[in-house]
Structure 1
Amino acid sequence: MIAPTQRNSQTPVQSQIANTQKSSGLASDFETFLKMLTVQAQNQDPLKPLDASEYASQLAQFSMVEQQVQTNDLLSALSQTLGGANLDKLGKWIGMNVRTPSAFSFDGEPVDLFAKAEPAADKAVMVIRESGGTVVDRITVSTTDTKSVWSGKGSDGQPLAAGNYTATLESYGGDKLLSQQLAAAYNQVVEAQISENQVMLTLVSGHVVSATTVTGVRAGA
């Protein structure tokens, strides 16, 4: 039963390899260009020296290639630095218990559930479902409290088996259903990764959620 209380592209390695190959190619072109320019200057006809404007143009190209090589080296170093920072950021999630609106893993211990009824509601019911979607309990809860504790027992008062469950808060105005809201619960994070510029967390329940949905964090056991 519930006791009311008060108030989910390229890998970094592939990208690094591609950047390295591109930088190496530019560096090779840069060295080749420098050698060709030196040989050209050494072997020009004294009676027909290289035109000044053409020589200036080649020097400008030489400068552009040099700057491109330096820029690529800088970007490569920056990418490695940021990659290390991202890994450090991801590592801090592992083992933490995060509160998100998702399925939760039940191991026999009471579970904190977080959801608030609609302001206009005069009745609120927490509906507990097992992983297959079957309703195992319906409990009337407070319309003002945001936190409830589920004991892990079914409607018959018997303890339920360990596994994954969901809790949905239904808000009623009289006999009319106003809304249904997936309650939030704490789950342990077992994996963290970056996908499409978002930190995605894999929970012990097996569900994957975005870090932006996390509304609370607890230290892992």
Structure 2
Amino acid sequence: MTTVNNTTGSTTGSAASATAAALGSTMSQADFLKLLTTQLQTQDPTNPLDNSQFVSQLAQFSQLASTQDLNTSVNNLASQITSALQTSQVLGSAGLVGRQVLVPADSIGYAGSAVGGAASVVDAGDVRVVIKDGTGKTVRTLDLGVQQPGLAQFSWDGKDDDGNPVAAGTYSMSASAGDGGSALSTYLAGTVSGVGYGGSDVGTYVQVAGVGGVPLSAIAQIN
């Protein structure tokens, strides 16, 4: 003989509603339909789900579907806005092509002509820029004198401390200020040859001669 639990029909509906409420926004339409189907299959035939409870759950399903559709629409709109802003930024930056900018760098590519750069001065003091070759030997020390806070610009003519021309190549540079020789950030001057978008991690970038691709936000100065 089979015994039927008469309380199943009354508790199944409330349990399903409680489960749906607990899952909230993480519940998909497929999950909701699976839950509702299981509920209908397991309800007590002698005490079926109350009509009002069934209608209430259908209303929950409709609300869930509407919310997910709204989320999809909002996400699509946000993606379109982001894409439009990216395009606008790239197009707006196109005016930098051909302009000279100062961008972060710790090396100088010397190819026979004078190279410009700058040191970021935090506190006023005597500023020195040291240029070294690939072996770490100091080639040239540029004494910029006492500089006020800001960007202290300099130019290297490609000669060593004895006035002799150096070979073309890549040289490292560093800057310091004050008696303690506190390190300063250095920048290299270069001409912008192009503008592009490097994805969400990079964003809009500029192609700078002698440096390469540099994020738009890294430009310290436009000359």
Larger Rg: 2
Q: Could you tell me which residue of structure 1 aligns to residue 157 of structure 2?
A: 151
Q: 1:159, 1:134 → 2: CA distance?
A: 15
2:101 aligned counterpart, secondary structure = strand
**Aligned partners of 1:97, 1:164: CA distance in 2, in Å?**
20
Gaps of 5+ in 1: 1-25, 37-47
Give, in whole Å, the separation in 1 of the partners of 2:162 and 2:138: 12
User: Bigger shift: 200-209 or 138-147?
Assistant: 200-209
Question: Would you say 1:141 and 2:144 are equivalent positions?
Answer: yes
Q: Across the two proteins, how many residue pairs are aligned to each other?
A: 175
- Structure 2 unaligned blocks of 5 or more: 1-27, 37-47
Describe the superposition over 1:64-104 as per-residue Cα deviations: whole angstroms up to 9, x where unpaired: 21331232033113213312422442462784543133134
Report the AA paired with residue 158 of structure 1.
Answer: N
Superposed displacement of residue 148, structure 1: 2.2
Under a length normalisation based on structure 2, what TM-score does the superposition of the two structures give?
Answer: 0.57
DSSP-derived class of the 2:189 partner: strand
Instruction: List aligned pairs for 1:91-102, cutoff 5 A.
Output: 92=93, 95=97, 97-102=100-105
State yes or no: 1:171 paired with 2:174: no
2:61 corresponds to which residue? 61
Structure 1 residue aligned with 2:10: none
- In 2, the alpha carbon distance for the partners of 1:192 and 1:153 equals 38
Conserved in 1, the CA contact under 8 Å of 2:127 and 2:147?
A: no
- Contact 2:86 2:197 (C-alpha < 8 Å) held by counterparts: no
Change (3 A) 1:108 1:114: same
Q: Deviations over 1:24-44 (max 9, x none)?
A: xx79x6xxx7xx9xxxxxxxx
Aligned residue identity for 1:52: S
What pairs up with 1:19-38 in 2 under 5 angstroms?
A: none
Alignment pair present for 1:216 and 2:211: no
**1:114 matches 2:114:** no
Paired residues of 1:128 and 1:137 also in contact (CA < 8 A) = yes
- Is this contact kept in 2: 1:200–1:211, CA < 8 A? yes
**How many angstroms apart in 1 are the aligned matches of 2:213 and 2:160?**
27
Aligned residue for 1:137, secondary structure, equals strand
Q: Which residue of 1 aligns with 2:186?
A: 183
Q: Is 1:105 the counterpart of 2:109 in the alignment? A: yes
RMSD: 4.0
Give 1:82's aligned residue.
82
Q: Which moved more, 1:200-209 or 1:58-67?
A: 200-209
Report if aligned partners of 1:164, 1:205 keep a CA contact under 8 Å in 2.
no
Instruction: Report the Cα offset of residue 152 of structure 1.
Output: 1.8
Q: State the SS of the aligned residue for 1:142.
A: strand
Cα contact 1:166–1:182 (8 A) shared by 2: no
Counterpart check, 1:128 vs 2:131: yes
1:19 corresponds in structure 2 to none
Q: Where does 1:40-59 land on structure 2 (aligned, <5 Å)?
A: 51-59=51-59
